[in-house]
């Protein structure tokens, strides 16, 4: 096993089994770090807790819901507005967050009364919102508050409201991933099958594991609607509580983030016979293949091909403009979980960069299997890294840019490595054909920003050149490129709008006839003939 | 599509090993080279081989690679259930990619294609299940 031991972690020898370097001829039977285990004492993890995973990642993107944390106010503060899962209802779920504000006296005397009072107050404050999710936290789990009993009591008193209880306190798993699991299973156990939907198409999907980061869901849903597909629910970005109660009526589950939402897909397959189709919304080829697969499943591949042709013609020249300028740039791909495999191969193939390292904060060994498979030789793969290991890896690998979260990202900036926010994005959405170009633009802007050269000059001791002016990105990126690239009239940097999402909310879609419609027409014609 | 929830039979999810060593190792260099190309495409571009549990991976590998072999041989493929149709979707994509990227496969007679795909199936089972270092594959619940 090609384990990698960090100098800084020699005092924590168990850490060695959590990092590998993919060597020549290595495969998954010889090269895989440990994963999804409790963080080793002494290692300052970058992980979130199971409550955070349940609420912050999966629960809160549901848009028409009062999300209330039963616990100290700090728990909800730390999960408020740190993601950019927008919604088409004026971002209700981002604007408002609720906590029962449990204090020491409640730990001693119980907090159930406090919870009920808070629930009633919240519904009164927002009378148009009739749905609520209550999130358990460590403190109220330890004192044994019966949240379900309180929720049942309120629902009995207020028949027009519906409440979902998410029992995933912070300690309920090694990382936020434990919370993903718990809320997936809780939702299918408590809510799926409790409401019947109106079916409007012959092709009905649940879009699962999609969180509408800066509009990703709306971009993808646009493609589906253009194909005449009814998106019954999205689990959970921009998703509606009641739509998600009807998941059992879909014909197909289209799964985007297998890390956070495969559980509900697998259970829907097991319990209701709805198949699971894994897709990739990132990258031209993976996205095109994904649309084709959905088209194939429903027998409407021609509709997928029409979209692929139109979008590729529009955006390929702009992607290629960036690809020409990003050739060989070294990338550390250090996201939370799924993006290490969503992006690892696609950014190398379609943007020309080289992934020198992947890591995952809360991923499982399954995520590393995908990520390592999609990387080339020499890639360093790290599970649940700590800050010192991150710094040591940056020093060793000398990447041109890293894609990661805010905490390690800010740390990287201090050592002169530009970072892009892999969780919430810089200027997303990054899904879709246009989104992929926006991602390439953000990478380009990060890699070639002149600020990184300026920031590394110490005016207290370094000599400041006075014979050179300020350089621009283009001066840096184009200096060694051939004239057929720099002077190309076909290739172009991004020409889309600042906001690529809002216009989708008022768009109208083609009205595809349904199979039942044809039967109705025949019946009407036959009646006419008989008359 | 049934709207009535069914309960899982966890007894069917017990890990049953098939391979105890790399099944590709015993083959000639040409087969190893060819299977290596086919395997590399799957590992770089596909996700279906990585469902989280071993029993699931076994079904995925058998379903998709079995139908891909039929498609490569020009045989009709039967999809009586939505689950079978889902395997077929991934198989169609794989069949197309193989024909485009590895044109040598279209020159092989049907029995050689079947044999090659059988070896690829064994290799995938080894890589993703029996030889995998992933400790979560034997968990019986999702």
Establish if A8 belongs to a structural domain: no
Number of domains in chain A: 2
Q: Alpha-carbon dihedral of residues A501, A505, A510, A513, nearest 10 degrees?
A: 130
**pLDDT tens figures, A483-494:** 999 999 999 999
| Residue A229 in domain | no
Instruction: Give the HSE-up count for residue A478: Cα atoms under 13 Å, Cβ half-sphere.
Output: 13
Buried/exposed code over A423-458 (b: 16+ C-beta within 10 A; e: otherwise): bebbbbbbbbbbbbbbbbbbbbbbbbbeebeeeeee
Output the pLDDT for position B15: 86
A267–B52 C-beta distance less than 8 A? no
Of A480, A502, A518, the one marking the end of a domain is A480
pLDDT tops 60 at residue A531: no
Cβ contacts (< 8 Å) between B127 and chain A: which residues?
Answer: 27-29
Residue A195 near residue A221 (C-beta atoms within 8 A): no
Per-residue pLDDT at A111: 97
Residues of A in contact with B92 (CB under 8 A): 296
Q: β-pairing, A98-99 with A419-421?
A: unpaired
- pLDDT over 60 (residue A14): yes
Reported ipTM: the value is: 0.94
Across the interface, whether the CB atoms of B3 and A345 are under 8 A apart is answered: no
Give me the mean pLDDT over the A227-233 stretch.
98
User: Which residues have CB under 8 Å from A502's CB, separation 6+?
Assistant: none
- At residue A328, the pLDDT reads 97
- Which of A266, A282, A379 best tests the B interface by mutation, with the highest count of B CBs <10 A? A266
Domain contains A308: no
Extract the tokens encoding A120.
């009633």
Say if CB A308 and CB A332 are below 8 A apart: no
> Which pLDDT score is estimated for A191?
98
Residues A186 and A324 in one domain: no
CB nearest to B134's CB, from A32, A252, A296: A32
Longest CA–CA span in chain B (Å) reads 51
Quote the domain boundaries for residue A163.
Answer: 50-191
Q: Which residue in chain B is spatially nearest to A197 when comparing CA positions?
A: B3
* A357: exposed, middle or buried (Cβ count in 10 Å: 0-12, 13-18, 19+): buried
Q: For residue A431, what pLDDT band results from cuts at 50, 70 and 90?
A: very high
Strands A252-255 and A204-210: parallel
B 102-121 residues with CB < 8 A to A: none
Nearest to A111 by CA among A140, A76, A131: A140
Give the pTM.
Answer: 0.95
Q: Which of A158, A174, A191 is the C-terminal boundary of a domain?
A: A191
Yes or no: say if A101 and A33 are a contact pair by the CB < 8 Å rule: no
Cβ-Cβ contacts under 8 Å, A30 against chain B: 133
The beta-carbon contacts of A156-164 under 8 Å, at least 24 apart in sequence, are A158/A123, A160/A130, A161/A123, A161/A130, A161/A131, A161/A132, A162/A130, A162/A131, A162/A132, A162/A241, A162/A242, A163/A119, A163/A131, A163/A132, A163/A133, A163/A134, A164/A65, A164/A131, A164/A132, A164/A133, A164/A134, A164/A190, A164/A191, A164/A241
Mean pLDDT, range A222-239, rounded to an integer: 98
- Nearest by CB to A270, from B8, B51, B90: name it: B8
% of chain A surpassing 70 pLDDT: 97
* Nearest CB partner across the interface for A248, out of B3, B48, B136: B3
Q: What is the per-residue pLDDT for A525?
A: 62
pLDDT above 80: residue A520:
no
Mean pLDDT of A164-189: 97
What was the pLDDT predicted at A270?
92
Residue A81: pLDDT over 70: no
Chain B residues in contact with A263 by the CB 8 A cut-off are 142
Neighbours of A472 (CB within 10 A): 12
- Find the mean pLDDT for residues A335-355: 94
Q: Which of A249, A364, A374 sits opposite B44 (nearest CB)?
A: A374
Q: Give me the residue from A262, A263, A273 closest to B1, CB to CB.
A: A273
Are the Cβ atoms of A275 and B136 closer than 8 angstroms? no
Per-residue pLDDT, B34: 98
pLDDT: is A202 or A338 the higher one? Answer: A202
Does B86 sit within 8 Å of A297, measured CB to CB? yes
Q: Is residue A199 part of a domain?
A: no
A82 assigned to some structural domain: yes
- Is A375 in the B-facing interface, judged by CB distances under 8 Å? no
Chain A residues lying within 8 Å of B89, measured CB to CB: 277, 293, 296-297
Q: Which residues, in sequence order, are CB contacts of A107 under 8 Å at separation 6+?
A: A139, A143
pLDDT band at residue A287 using 50, 70 and 90 as cut-offs = very high
Residue A86 lies in a domain: yes
* Cβ contact, residue pair A272, B1, below 8 Å: yes
B127 and B24 in contact (C-beta within 8 Å)?
Answer: no
Higher pLDDT, A245 or A338: A245
Torsion, Cα A509 A515 A516 A521, to 10 degrees, reads 90
Contacts (Cβ under 8 Å, ≥6 apart) of A240: A62, A63, A64, A233
Domain end among A135, A167, A191: A191
Residues of chain A neighbouring B19 (CB-CB closer than 8 A) = none
Residue A502 falls within a domain, yes or no?
no
Residue A369 lies in a domain: yes
pLDDT at B2 over 60: no
Q: What's the pLDDT at A465?
A: 81
Kindly report the CATH number assigned to the domain that includes residue A98: 3.40.50.1980
């Amino acid at each position: 096993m090609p384990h990698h031991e960090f100098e800084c972690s020699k005092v924590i020898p168990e850490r060695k089994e959590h990092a590998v370097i993919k060597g020549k001829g290595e495969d998954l039977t010889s090269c895989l770090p440990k994963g999804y285990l409790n963080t080793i004492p002494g290692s300052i993890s970058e992980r979130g807790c199971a409550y955070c995973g349940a609420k912050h990642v999966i629960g809160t993107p549901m848009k028409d819901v009062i999300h209330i944390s039963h616990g100290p106010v700090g728990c909800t503060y730390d999960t408020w507005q740190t993601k950019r899962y927008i919604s088409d209802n004026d971002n209700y779920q981002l604007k408002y967050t609720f906590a029962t504000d449990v204090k020491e006296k409640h730990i001693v005397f119980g907090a159930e009364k406090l919870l009920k009072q808070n629930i009633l107050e919240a519904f009164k404050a927002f009378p148009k919102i009739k749905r609520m999710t209550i999130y358990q936290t460590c403190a109220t789990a330890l004192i044994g508050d019966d949240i379900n009993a309180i929720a049942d009591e309120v629902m009995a008193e207020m028949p027009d409201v519906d409440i979902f209880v998410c029992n995933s306190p912070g300690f309920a798993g090694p990382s936020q991933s434990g919370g993903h699991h718990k809320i997936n299973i809780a939702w299918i156990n408590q809510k799926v099958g409790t409401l019947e939907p109106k079916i409007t198409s012959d092709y009905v999907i649940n879009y699962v594991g999609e969180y509408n980061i800066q509009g990703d869901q709306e971009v993808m849903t646009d493609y589906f609607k253009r194909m005449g597909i009814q998106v019954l629910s999205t689990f959970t970005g921009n998703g509606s509580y009641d739509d998600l109660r009807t998941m059992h009526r879909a014909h197909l589950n289209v799964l985007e983030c297998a890390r956070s939402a495969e559980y509900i897909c697998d259970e829907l397959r097991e319990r209701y016979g709805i198949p699971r189709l894994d897709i990739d919304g990132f990258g031209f080829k993976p996205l095109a293949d994904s649309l084709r697969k959905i088209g194939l499943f429903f027998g409407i591949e021609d509709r997928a091909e029409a979209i692929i042709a139109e979008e590729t013609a529009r955006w390929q020249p702009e992607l290629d403009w960036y690809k020409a300028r990003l050739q060989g740039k070294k990338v550390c791909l250090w996201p939370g979980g799924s993006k290490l495999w969503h992006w690892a191969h696609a950014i190398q193939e379609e943007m020309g960069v080289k992934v020198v390292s992947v890591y995952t904060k809360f991923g499982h060994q399954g995520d590393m299997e995908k990520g390592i498979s999609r990387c080339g030789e020499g890639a360093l793969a790290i599970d649940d890294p700590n800050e010192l290991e991150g710094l040591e890896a940056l020093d060793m690998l000398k990447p041109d840019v890293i894609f990661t979260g805010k905490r390690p990202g800010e740390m990287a900036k201090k050592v002169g490595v530009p970072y892009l926010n892999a969780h919430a994005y810089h200027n997303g959405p990054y899904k879709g054909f246009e989104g992929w170009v926006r991602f390439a633009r953000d990478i380009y802007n990060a890699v070639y920003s002149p600020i990184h050269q300026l920031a590394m000059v110490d005016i207290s001791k370094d000599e400041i050149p006075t014979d050179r002016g300020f350089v621009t990105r283009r001066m840096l990126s184009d200096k060694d490129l051939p004239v057929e690239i720099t002077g190309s009239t076909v290739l172009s940097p991004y020409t889309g709008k600042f906001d690529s999402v809002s216009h989708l909310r008022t768009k109208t879609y083609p009205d595809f006839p349904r199979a039942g419609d044809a039967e109705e027409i025949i019946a009407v014609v036959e009646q006419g003939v008989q008359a | 599509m049934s709207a009535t929830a069914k309960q899982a039979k966890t007894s069917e999810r017990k890990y049953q090993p098939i391979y105890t060593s790399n099944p590709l190792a015993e083959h000639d260099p040409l087969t190893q080279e060819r299977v290596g190309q086919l395997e590399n495409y799957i590992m770089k571009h596909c996700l279906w081989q990585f469902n989280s549990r071993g029993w699931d991976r076994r079904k995925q590998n058998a379903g998709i690679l079995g139908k891909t072999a039929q498609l490569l041989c020009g045989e009709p493929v039967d999809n009586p259930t939505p689950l079978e149709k889902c395997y077929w979707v991934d198989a169609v994509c794989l069949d197309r990619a193989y024909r485009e990227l590895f044109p040598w496969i279209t020159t092989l007679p049907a029995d050689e294609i079947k044999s090659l795909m059988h070896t690829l199936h064994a290799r995938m089972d080894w890589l993703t299940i029996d030889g995998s270092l992933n400790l979560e594959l034997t968990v019986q619940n999702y």
